[in-house]
Structure 1
Amino acid sequence: MELVGPILEVIKCFGGLTCRYLDNHRKLEENMSKLRRRVDGLNIRKKDIELRKDAELCSGKVVKKEVERWLEDVEMINIEMQTIEQKLCDVSYFSRGSLGKLVCRKIKGVKEIHQQGKFLDVVTVAVPPTRGVILQTTDLEGEINVNEQIWEYLMGDDVAMIGVCGMGGIGKTTIMKHINNQLLKEAGFDKVIWVTVSKELNVVKLQEDIASACDMKHLLPKNELERATKLIDILKTKRYVLILDDVWKQFSLLQMGIPEPRHNGSKLVITSRSIDVCLSMGCKVLKVQPLSKEESLNLFLNHVGQGVLQDPALKEIVKLVVDQCSGLPLAIVTIAGSMKGVDDVREWRNALYELCERVKSVRGLDTEIFKCLMFSYDRLGDSKIQNCFLYCSLYPEDYTIERGMLIEKWIDEGLVDECGCRQAMQDRGHSILNRLENNCLLEKGVHSRGVKMHDVLRDMALSLKKANPRFMVKAGMKLKELPREHEWTADLEKVSLMDNSISEIPPGISPKCESLSTLLLQGNHEMERIAEPFFERMPGLKVLDLSYTDIRYLPNSISYLENLEALVLRSCLKLRHVPSIAKLTALRKLDFYCTAIEEVPHGTEMLINLTYLALDSENLKELPMGILPKLANLQYLVTTSYVRGEEMAKLRKLEIFSCLFPDPQDFQKYIKSMAGARPINYSLLVGSYGVFEFFRHREPYLVWLQFEQHEIHKNVYFFKCRLRGDQDPVVLPSDLEALHVEECHDLLSLSYSFVFHDRVNDLKHCYIWQCNGIQCLLDLSYSSCNLLQSIETLHVRRLQTLRRLVRVGVPAMSTSQGPTLPAIFSSLKVFYLESCSSIKKLFSIELVQGLQNLEELEVVCCEKMEEIITSEEEEEGGGGNHVGGPMVPETTTFVLPKLKKLRLLNLPELKSVCSSGVTIHVDFLDYKIHHCQKLKPFPSCFCISGEKVFV
């Protein structure tokens, strides 16, 4: 009888567990619906909080840490929900109870997080606003008196509006950049606002720039009168210094939205070439004087180098050359750039002679600086380089030109020597750009990818083209209509109307411009129509750019342009129809990137001179058979349409290549034909679902869209295609840099489905996502190839059947060429593992030895993960990577010298980071461990800088 009580208790216990298990089994769908409702409610709250957050961020605040943490928790719940939904699709009858238990636990967790999201007060906190932007500038040589006088007026109460005037290139902007930076460091103004005005005053842009500097652009209304009133209200709340650089004409401050600066100690400074403009706006005028001879020589030597004075014969000539610059900083710097590195006395003497004989009077320009800038222009020597410089004047004033885009334009114009291949032309273009920068004829933009043309140099360039043939440049002037027909004179060579607001080219305009070679209309975003006769009398047109317009079709008169070499319609998102281009046999470039065309234009197969072809349209699924083989001169091909491997094999000159193959067989036909010359850049998608489905909502799509930035990309993507079965393994290019595999459910391992060449040192990045059949990444039973040895980034996501990273079999171990395990991940820097529900042990001791370059390790939502680093032997069907061999010592110490970041998130079964007795030495560790309920701190330890830290 004494045993009855305990037995009944045991029966009761098991009975309760059994009942709960059966309840979870029976109510799985019901509980799943409840969980979905809870998660939907959580996401609704998340959206509400994000709306509050966005509204409060507009006031210059930052998100609270507790709110950031809560949003991370919600995001984690969404990731877990995806995993649970996947399990529900694959759950067996006997696993329903376990899954039901997980769903019940998650319902409680979601409820808790929902409660935590009741933020009663604001979700952001205020931060000290930025007072302005530090500007890049050169050393200030001379102008000390003006600089000090400006500062005295700014610090005093007597003068509120200051006008800094002087001829172009004398240093007004340089002085004010130093003042701007000094104000930010020392003075007590709320805001220091810098706005470049330029010759063509754009009221809307000026207002927006001022409001942006105050972090209030979002408050500006669209109505012009209301916008000025609102801007006045914004500025009245602050004590500011407003610097308007390069003002060409007088305007009303109040109509612009700038209040009288005297009201609260605010100040206004304008720089202008005209003293009359400064006076008419009520400014106290300070005129910038040329540099003294001593200051001029110092500035010149700073740029040309002090070494020129070492030769006594050069000393006097150098001084005379500097004298010819008339104390103008821009002239001094430009000529110094042209003479840098020259040590031949005769060349210096010749330079002096040329400067003295230079034409000293040119209408519309300051004569003193013109002769100096013309000297630097002439010293370029090569007429093609000079024309490259002149081409920059076609862009709007103060425009930052992206380097790659500019070089592409030079290639279109034939200004870069035909070098036989695009890479050589690109290199030549960069060389020319560097020379123009080194000669100070172009300056670096706000970022390293851009260049700018000084407005004085732009004026000089445009003045040179006033003689025949000439330019008509009205770029960035907010034109709403095309220039009148009488302005389209017969001698025009290049016309630039880019970045305006021209809405159409109406009927009745058909300019007779037989010499016109370049027409740039890109950036007229509102342009929807080009009337039929417009191109009829432009027989010499070679370059036509209509990019970033809203045109829906091209007129039939495009067929008159039989000398056209470049037709650019990039990002014409509404363009659907293009007439026959069969007569445009001179075309070398055809760009339909990001358009809506529904078919390849008629006559494309006739373009035998074509070297550049971009076709990107969601409406164009496949390139018709027979077209590509006729375009044998293609060097550049980017398309989101399907191509055939046997056709691609005939394009032997390709250097840049991006396309889709419908299946691995077509891909193989192309890869096996790639003997000899290979593309420099390629990005290839294999699979029948299309690039738009694959990259939709995915970050890599940005890489695809920016493919032509002339950086090296060698990527292959496999998406929803067969990678095993009765098919041979897929042979990959030997120079492949990044491999992406997604939703290829019959993939068992990389080594089973792919053939890697012996030389795999280029393969740096590997992404394996949502492949339900894969059990291990690398199976050395099939191959001894060390294909992961060069991998630096490894992302593994949603592999439900993955049990181990590496499986080592007898064949590999008996091969002398097979790699030892520590070598497999020897280059790995970043490893990310997410939602792999079957893996229990991540790294074995042997694998850890090879992780000497590992910098970041992140493991997320792997519900069965028990241990990150294990010393246990591999069990059949388990998750370890141990290969047998000698017994592991009771105490094992490893050094991971580069490990800096560790993230372990939502690992409910994780018991330890490392097996007992294992110590990892690191120099520094930023770690985050979250939702790992079973993790015990004492078995897992890191030794950081000699001090043991438990995590």
Structure 2
Amino acid sequence: MGTAVDLKNIVVVGHFFAIKIVEIGVSIVAKVAEYLITPIGRKFSYLCNCNDNLENLRKEVEKLIDARARVEHSVADAKRKGEEIEQDVEECEKAAREAKPVAGLHETGKFHKVSYHINPEKIWLTLSKGYQAFDSRISTFKDITNALSNPSVDMIGICGMGGIGKTMLVKEIARQVKGHKLFDEVVFVDVPQIPDIKKMQGQIADELGLFLCEESESGRARRLYARMKEEKKILVILDDIWARLDLETLGIPLGDEHKGCKVLLTSRSRGVLSREMDSEINFLVGILSQEESWSLFQKMVAEGDCIRNHDLQSLAVAIAKECAGLPIAIVTIAKALREENLFEWKNALLELKRPSWRNFSGVQAAACSTIELSFNFLTGEDLKSTLLLCSLMGYTYHASMLDLLKYGMGMGLFKDVNTMEEARDRACPLVHKLKACSLLLDSHISEMFAMHDVVRDVAISIASRDQHVFTMRNHVVPQEWLDKDTLKFCTAISLHKCDVNELPEELECPQLKFFYMYPKDPALKIPDKFFAGMIELRVLDLTKMHLLSLPSSLHLLVNLRTLCLDQSVLGDIAVIGELKQLEILSLSSSDIEHLPREIGRLKELYMSKSFDQCLDELKHLSRLTTLEIHIQGAKILPRGLFSKKLERYKILIGDEWDWHEWDYHAIEDLYLGELQDVKNVLNELDAEGFLQLKHLHVQNSPYILCIVDSVEGVACDAFPLLESLFLHNLTNLEKICNGRLTAASFCNLGIIKVGNCNKLKSILSVSIARGLQQLQVIDVTECKSMEVILGTEEEDRISSNQEIELITPRGIQKCSLTAEAATNEITFSKLKSLSLSYLPSLTSFC
């Protein structure tokens, strides 16, 4: 029989049936028949009907395959919903694996439910429209994905101001980690401002294709918990959280409960991430660069093809710049202007440059509303008031904590605070919290902070709307600002680098508490009666003005607490002495000749680069607690100045110091240069021992013989809080310390640097060295007579030496270490850096 026939062999592989078609000849069929037909009761006609039998078998197998597919779909759908599988279904599957007879399986596999639920791919996970990979964020993107790959990290946070692009970023991260199989499942949840647990649970369930029939939050949480544990690797994204969320209440397993589950959070508040959610790693999303802003703006406007118009090109560049790197502002404005005419573009730029008049209307409303929402969520009026005050401060890029303290103290912003130190302790946490909420920014300069332009605009708008504040920056001040009805309720006026042609004879502002003016024209005249109608004024700042005499109406400001006359040319300032409530006076970088003797009630005085003569006038300030001053031409520092027990001071004496280099260092700083008649710094300048001083710099003073001299034989306290000591070019300095000192002396010293002091034979004595437990840096250079680093005084016992090896520029050299030092273990446990160079006379370290 030469005719070939088809035979289908059934092959069981795992849970699935595979059908393999094989062509065989009659001889093979006969062989198969030999095995299939039993010797007894089989008819020869069965072989003749082989084709019919095989066709029946094929149909039965096809039915079984279809039935199995239906069962598997139903089983997968049920498992996705978190349901248990019926026992008979489990047995049917087991029978399939054991290859039981086909006909029996076909009958057993008949089930009522044949349909199954399809869980569509998430739209946000498949579309990346609108995302742009900015260069400034590529490294952050990589760092976040690397953190997600770290098996030891469960929770990651991303923070940044509203509208900065956090949501777009995390969605793109989700797309990539899903595409690269880093996670089997990704869930994205929008967190409401006031969390609705039940609604959020429903959102998670939808993402997972899970049907929740439970009514209670706890029941739904248990179902979600069990469903998530079925996923080997799952990422849950909780977007825009405002306060602590209980993941257990939601039903999210984490940590040891499910090693494959990770949570990615976004928030405007760094504090919410780190303190309330305990996220292990937090990343900050910053603003776009100017080039990136322009690129995004062009992309958003491109459909309208309008910026090829030459007239619009320059406007577009200016508008993109005014958006200050905030993506939501750029996108919103660009789309709004896409089909608009030239006049609308000009009006948009005008709105952006005059934020206090916008009140969140116009093209930037969406961007502003996100910032206002962050403002509304600030807890406590002190935080809100601090932010609004920051928006009024006259700065272009960075603002100083010191200015905030001056203004805040004057305005009474810090409740129950009496001293600047207490104010600083109150203000620093407030600024830190505002930074954590992305409403203030870090500065690259210590003691400074910054505010994003859009945040400032929103804060000014809020202040204008809610507190009747008038502010203008870098523009011509319109005549409307003199409207009497407006001024009647005005509480603050801030005019920064504005064109003010003329001031009225008197400004009637009965509720005004804050007045700041920095005019473009420093010769702007202030009429004598100008301040007569500002009886409630508490803070007055007139910057960069030429005033031959201060307006006589100034003496009427009986409530004035803070007066700043910085960077000004000042003549007669005697009227300041009549301000009985004045506590803070700032004359930094101003040209003045004399201080009024009547300001003896003053607590704080700031005068960098203001004097060019002796400071004897300062002796009359009996209540002075804070002093910051730089006298470039002074040769004499008044004796007894520090016996006034100044709590805070930063004093620079001499021409060589650059105030701006030291302007933002810690308080309690003293920089002495070119002193002509001082031989002993401690004895002649402060007999009490500079109890508050933290940083001492002395240079270019040939008359100084020692820093501390207790020649009386009685141990004295010297510099107990000093953290750094810098001595340079003191050509006649013989000793840093002479005589006995108490154990508290120099006990906080962390850095000592000595250079070009050619008569100095040692730095400190062994007895003093034992107390230097905080010492981290020793740097000695170009001291020709330096024999030892740690020398001996008469009370130090001298005994035999032992040698140590020092690595020097001339190679490894052996130096002697006294046995006394070795046995008493002079240990600098925190020492990080030891630098000894150009010391030709050095014989031993100790």
One-letter amino acid of the counterpart of residue 763, structure 1: L
2:537 paired with 1:542: yes
2:641 paired with 1:713: no
2:515 paired with 1:519: yes
The change in CA–CA distance for 1:563 and 1:721 in structure 2 (over 3 A counts) is: same
Q: Distance in 2 between matches of 1:739 and 1:746?
A: 14
**1:638 equivalent among 598, 613, 628:** 628
Aligned residue number for residue 490 of structure 2: 493
1:577 CA displacement: 4.1
CA offsets 1:497-522 (integer angstroms, 9 cap, x no match): 443342x5426564433333322224
1:794 CA displacement: 1.8
CA offsets 1:257-312 (integer angstroms, 9 cap, x no match): 969x9xxxxxx994225743133389xxxxxxxxxxxxxxxxxxxxxxxxxxxxxx
Q: Map of 1:68-467 to 2, 5 A cutoff?
A: 144=124, 148-151=128-131, 171=163, 173-174=165-166, 241=295, 243=297, 252-255=311-314, 270-273=330-333, 275-280=335-340, 386-394=384-392, 401-434=399-432, 440=437, 442-445=439-442, 449-450=448-449, 452=451, 455=454, 459=458, 462-463=461-462, 465-466=464-465
Aligned residue number for residue 721 of structure 2: 762
CA offsets 1:476-528 (integer angstroms, 9 cap, x no match): 3x2145645644633242344443342x5426564433333322224x45433
When the two structures are superposed, what TM-score results if normalisation uses the length of structure 2? 0.50
One-letter amino acid of the counterpart of residue 570, structure 2: L
CA offsets 1:447-468 (integer angstroms, 9 cap, x no match): 684253784795477357446x
CA-atom RMSD, angstroms? 6.0
Aligned residue number for residue 129 of structure 1: none
Aligned residue number for residue 784 of structure 2: 837
Aligned residue number for residue 211 of structure 2: none
2:795 paired with 1:799: no
One-letter amino acid of the counterpart of residue 614, structure 1: Y
The change in CA–CA distance for 1:560 and 1:493 in structure 2 (over 3 A counts) is: farther
Instruction: Give the secondary structure class of the aligned counterpart of 1:430.
Output: helix
Aligned residue number for residue 11 of structure 1: none
Listed as ranges, the gaps of 5+ residues in structure 2 are 1-121, 136-160, 175-286, 321-326, 343-358
Q: Distance in 2 between matches of 1:600 and 1:748?
A: 33
Q: Distance in 2 between matches of 1:371 and 1:154?
A: 25
Aligned residue number for residue 590 of structure 1: 585
1:595 CA displacement: 0.4
Instruction: Give the secondary structure class of the aligned counterpart of 1:697.
Output: coil
**Contact (CA 8 Å) 1:585, 1:608: kept in 2 or not?**
no
Q: Distance in 1 between matches of 2:126 and 2:413?
A: 43
The change in CA–CA distance for 1:884 and 1:461 in structure 2 (over 3 A counts) is: closer
The change in CA–CA distance for 1:364 and 1:587 in structure 2 (over 3 A counts) is: farther
Aligned residue number for residue 574 of structure 1: 569
When the two structures are superposed, what TM-score results if normalisation uses the length of structure 1? 0.45
One-letter amino acid of the counterpart of residue 496, structure 2: D
Percent of aligned pairs with the same amino acid: 14
The change in CA–CA distance for 1:526 and 1:404 in structure 2 (over 3 A counts) is: same
Q: Distance in 1 between matches of 2:383 and 2:511?
A: 22
CA offsets 1:318-369 (integer angstroms, 9 cap, x no match): xxxxxxxxxxxxxxxxxxxxxxxxxxxxxxxxxxxxxxxxxxx998799999
Q: Distance in 1 between matches of 2:406 and 2:300?
A: 30
Q: Distance in 1 between matches of 2:521 and 2:360?
A: 38
1:593 CA displacement: 1.8
Aligned residue number for residue 200 of structure 1: none
**Contact (CA 8 Å) 2:544, 2:567: kept in 1 or not?**
yes
The change in CA–CA distance for 1:466 and 1:500 in structure 2 (over 3 A counts) is: same
CA offsets 1:546-576 (integer angstroms, 9 cap, x no match): 4542434455254364235145435324334
One-letter amino acid of the counterpart of residue 666, structure 1: G
CA offsets 1:227-278 (integer angstroms, 9 cap, x no match): xxxxxxxx9xxx993558999x99845335969x9xxxxxx99422574313
Q: Which has the higher contact order (CA 8 A, sep 6+)?
A: 2
Q: Distance in 2 between matches of 1:573 and 1:858?
A: 54
The change in CA–CA distance for 1:584 and 1:244 in structure 2 (over 3 A counts) is: farther
Instruction: Give the secondary structure class of the aligned counterpart of 1:590.
Output: strand
Q: Distance in 1 between matches of 2:397 and 2:603?
A: 29
1:543 CA displacement: 4.2
**Contact (CA 8 Å) 2:608, 2:631: kept in 1 or not?**
yes
**Contact (CA 8 Å) 1:471, 1:493: kept in 2 or not?**
yes
Instruction: Give the secondary structure class of the aligned counterpart of 2:640.
Output: helix
The change in CA–CA distance for 1:788 and 1:256 in structure 2 (over 3 A counts) is: same
**Contact (CA 8 Å) 1:722, 1:744: kept in 2 or not?**
no
Q: Distance in 1 between matches of 2:559 and 2:544?
A: 20
CA offsets 1:145-191 (integer angstroms, 9 cap, x no match): 79811248999xxxxxxxxxxxxx98475467789999xxxxxxxxx
**Contact (CA 8 Å) 2:360, 2:461: kept in 1 or not?**
no
The change in CA–CA distance for 1:480 and 1:723 in structure 2 (over 3 A counts) is: same
The change in CA–CA distance for 1:720 and 1:793 in structure 2 (over 3 A counts) is: farther
Instruction: Give the secondary structure class of the aligned counterpart of 1:280.
Output: coil
The change in CA–CA distance for 1:146 and 1:600 in structure 2 (over 3 A counts) is: farther
Aligned residue number for residue 640 of structure 2: 666
1:596 CA displacement: 0.2
**Contact (CA 8 Å) 1:841, 1:867: kept in 2 or not?**
no
Q: Distance in 1 between matches of 2:584 and 2:827?
A: 55
The change in CA–CA distance for 1:746 and 1:610 in structure 2 (over 3 A counts) is: closer
Instruction: Give the secondary structure class of the aligned counterpart of 1:796.
Output: strand
CA offsets 1:417-474 (integer angstroms, 9 cap, x no match): 2433332233233344455566x4834445684253784795477357446x612222
The change in CA–CA distance for 1:493 and 1:661 in structure 2 (over 3 A counts) is: farther
Instruction: Give the secondary structure class of the aligned counterpart of 1:529.
Output: coil
1:896 CA displacement: 8.7
The change in CA–CA distance for 1:434 and 1:735 in structure 2 (over 3 A counts) is: closer
CA offsets 1:741-768 (integer angstroms, 9 cap, x no match): 4425361674556986458652332233
Listed as ranges, the gaps of 5+ residues in structure 1 are 1-141, 156-168, 183-209, 215-234, 262-267, 283-360, 643-658, 686-690, 808-818, 872-881, 919-951
**2:647 equivalent among 677, 680, 683:** 680
**Contact (CA 8 Å) 1:501, 1:527: kept in 2 or not?**
no
Q: Distance in 2 between matches of 1:154 and 1:420?
A: 48
Q: Distance in 2 between matches of 1:146 and 1:398?
A: 43
Aligned residue number for residue 37 of structure 1: none
* Number of equivalenced pairs: 541
Instruction: Give the secondary structure class of the aligned counterpart of 1:580.
Output: helix
The change in CA–CA distance for 1:240 and 1:839 in structure 2 (over 3 A counts) is: same
CA offsets 1:570-629 (integer angstroms, 9 cap, x no match): 53243344362354334333221220012225xx61x5764333344544534676x865
The change in CA–CA distance for 1:370 and 1:272 in structure 2 (over 3 A counts) is: closer
**Contact (CA 8 Å) 1:479, 1:501: kept in 2 or not?**
yes
The change in CA–CA distance for 1:397 and 1:406 in structure 2 (over 3 A counts) is: closer
Aligned residue number for residue 26 of structure 1: none
One-letter amino acid of the counterpart of residue 605, structure 2: L
One-letter amino acid of the counterpart of residue 461, structure 2: L
Instruction: Give the secondary structure class of the aligned counterpart of 2:778.
Output: strand
